[in-house]
C-alpha cells in the first residue's frame, strides 16, 4: 500500500462527475487500500477517488477511527437515499481544501447503498456524523465541494481565506 497525493482545489477534476466502476479487480482493490492508507495518513475520515485523481464513483470512509474504533467502509458506485426530514448543520472540512471549513446543512439520516471491495452489494442506515461524511464524499463523485453548498457571500469569503493560506 502507499499514500497517494491528494488533489487540491481548484483542480478541475474536483468539478467533474465521476464514471461508474465497471468491475472490481486487483487494481481497484489496490486503489481502495491505497485510499484508506492516504485517508488515515492525512488524517481524514473520508476520501473520494477524484481527490486522488481517479475519476471513478468510489469513496472510502471511517467516521469513528479518530475516537479509537475503526469502522472502515469502501463504497463503490454508491447511492444515497434520504430518510426523514431532519437536517443537520455542521462545520465541514475537506482534505482537498486544507485549512478552512464551511458550514453546510445536510439531511441527518440516509441509507447508503454500495458495492463493497469484494463485489457484494450492501446497504447501511447512517445518522449524524457518519451520514454527513458519506454525503460529503458522495458530493465529490458528483463534482461538488463544500464551497458549492454556501451562499455567494460565504463562498467568496471562504475561498478568499483558502487562497490567503496558499500564499
**Grid cell 492525512 — which residue?**
42
Asked if residue 31 lies in contact with residue 50, where contact means CB atoms within 8 angstroms, the answer is no
- In the chain, where does DSSP find H-type helix? 26-41, 128-141, 152-166
Which of 85, 92, 137, 159 is flagged as catalytic?
A: 137
- Catalytic status, residue 137: yes
Query: Could you give the CA distance from residue 86 to residue 73 in angstroms, rounded to a whole number?
Result: 24
Largest CA distance in the chain: 46
- Under DSSP, the state recorded for 68 is T
Per-residue cell: 13: 477534476
Query: Could you give the CA distance from residue 38 to residue 33 in angstroms, rounded to a whole number?
Result: 9
Query: Could you give the CA distance from residue 92 to residue 107 in angstroms, rounded to a whole number?
Result: 14
Q: Which residues are catalytic?
A: 137
Amino acid at each position: 500500500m502507499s499514500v497517494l497525493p491528494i488533489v487540491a482545489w481548484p483542480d478541475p477534476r474536483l468539478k467533474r462527475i465521476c464514471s461508474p466502476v465497471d468491475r472490481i479487480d486487483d487494481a481497484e482493490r489496490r486503489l481502495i487500500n491505497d485510499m484508506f492508507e492516504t485517508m488515515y495518513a492525512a488524517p481524514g475520515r473520508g476520501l473520494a477517488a477524484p481527490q486522488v485523481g481517479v475519476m471513478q464513483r468510489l469513496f472510502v470512509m471511517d467516521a469513528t477511527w479518530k475516537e479509537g474504533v475503526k469502522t472502515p467502509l469502501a463504497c463503490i458506485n454508491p447511492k444515497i437515499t434520504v430518510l426523514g426530514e431532519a437536517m443537520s448543520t455542521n462545520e465541514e472540512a475537506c482534505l482537498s481544501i486544507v485549512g478552512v471549513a464551511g458550514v453546510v446543512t445536510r439531511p441527518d439520516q440516509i441509507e447508503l447503498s454500495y458495492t463493497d471491495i469484494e463485489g457484494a452489494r450492501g446497504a447501511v442506515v447512517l445518522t449524524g456524523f457518519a451520514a454527513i461524511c458519506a454525503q460529503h464524499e458522495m458530493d465529490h463523485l458528483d463534482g461538488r465541494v463544500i464551497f458549492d453548498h454556501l451562499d455567494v457571500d460565504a463562498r467568496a469569503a471562504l475561498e478568499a481565506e483558502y487562497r490567503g493560506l496558499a500564499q
